[in-house]
Structure 1
Amino acid sequence: MSADNYSEKDSIRLTGRLVLRTFGQRSKSEHLGVYLVTDQGDYLIRPTGANPFMNNPLMKLAGKTITAEGYIVDYVFLARSWQEGEEDPRPDAAI
């Protein structure tokens, strides 16, 4: 999956929450993966160009909402950039 094969026009923007889930359960590749959970679906996410076998820098943002720009290859969202989103305040939270 080379980032060189995709241009800026292929880029999409997704907003969702980062969650940790087991990837490749009951296989030699089993590990804790970072998923972007969106209205459009759930995607394993990692930065473009990052080694898939090393720690994912997005892991520290688990539980937070982000907006990421990148592209999808199969089930993986390769993020070129991301920004931590602000939580939507609930109107009834002050009650």
Structure 2
Amino acid sequence: MSDDKKQAPKKVKGQIILKTFARTTKSESLGVYLQTADGTFLIRPAGGNPFMDNPLAALAGKYIEAQGRKSSYVFFAKTWKEITEEEAGSKE
């Protein structure tokens, strides 16, 4: 089993944004990202097919709290729920 799958589940909060992934390559596509206080990374459902539409895209612009595991640049969300901007800690 890889080290990524041995990790304890992690909880993250942030805003779902859509932006281009793999610009100027054959894999260029619209990526679903989670923008957090600690950085921005791709997010998709754990166990989901990476070549199918990402259901989290419907939450673009909204804030979520997700639980799952993070690889080098993708967060694999086992669960997620919509939260307020204040709950996400994005208010200045």
The TM-score bracket by the shorter chain reads: 0.7 to 0.9
Aligned twin of 1:6 = 5
Aligned twin of 2:84 = 86
How many residues are paired up?
Answer: 85
Given residue 71 of structure 2, which amino acid in structure 1 is its aligned partner? V
Q: Larger Rg: 1 or 2?
A: 1
Aligned twin of 1:58 = 56
Root-mean-square deviation over aligned CA pairs: 1.8
Tell which has more relative contact order, 1 or 2 (C-alpha 8 A, sep 6+). Answer: 2
TM-score, L = length of structure 2: 0.85
Please list every run of 5 or more consecutive structure 1 residues that lacks an aligned counterpart in the other structure: 89-95
SS of residue in 1 equivalent to 2:85:
coil
Aligned twin of 2:89 = none
Q: Please say if 1:74 is aligned against 2:72.
A: yes
TM-score, L = length of structure 1: 0.83
Using the alignment, how far apart are the partners of 2:47 and 2:29 within structure 1? Answer: 19
Instruction: Quote how far apart the aligned CAs of 1:45 are.
Output: 0.2
Using the alignment, how far apart are the partners of 1:27 and 1:34 within structure 2? Answer: 17
Percent identity, aligned pairs only, is 48
Please list every run of 5 or more consecutive structure 2 residues that lacks an aligned counterpart in the other structure: 87-92
Deviations 1:66-93 (CA, angstroms, capped at 9, x unpaired): 00000111100000000000233xxxxx
SS of residue in 2 equivalent to 1:63:
coil
